[in-house]
Amino acid sequence: MAADAGFVQGTSGASASAASSTRSARETVLFRLIEGPMTPQEVSEGTKVGVGKAHRTLNELQGRDLVELIVPENASNGPIFGLTVQGEKVAFHIQRQSKA
């Protein structure tokens, strides 16, 4: 799990700087999905992550089994992504690290 957390935080090791005030796009996307399944458009709303970057990041996180595609890409309202169990664990692990 620490390796996945490092990947999400954009670090190569398990010990990411908890003092960092800016989140990586991966962290932002992961934390947005804690609220529930979303489209890339919904993920980007209220964040500094654009829709295109959100979509690429969602696909990247899906490749790491942290995010799953709930509604297909060709759906009329667009794809909807949600966290996997592993994605939830990684998100909560990162939150605990940042509070330490």
Number of neighbouring beta carbons within 10 Å of residue 35: 10
DSSP letter at 38?
B
Residue range 16-69, pLDDT digits in tens? 333 334 689 999 999 999 999 999 999 999 999 999 999 999 999 999 999 999
Stated pTM of the model: 0.79
3-class DSSP state of 23: coil
Q: Give residue 4's pLDDT.
A: 75
Contact 55, 25 (CB under 8 A): no
The CATH fold assigned to 2-12+22-99 is Arc Repressor Mutant, subunit A (1.10.10)
Domain locations in the chain as residue ranges: 2-12+22-99
Residue 80 has which token pair? 């909807």
> How far from 87 is each of 19, 23, 35, 47, CA to CA, in Å?
22, 16, 13, 19
Q: Using 50, 70 and 90 to split pLDDT, how confident is the model at 99?
A: confident
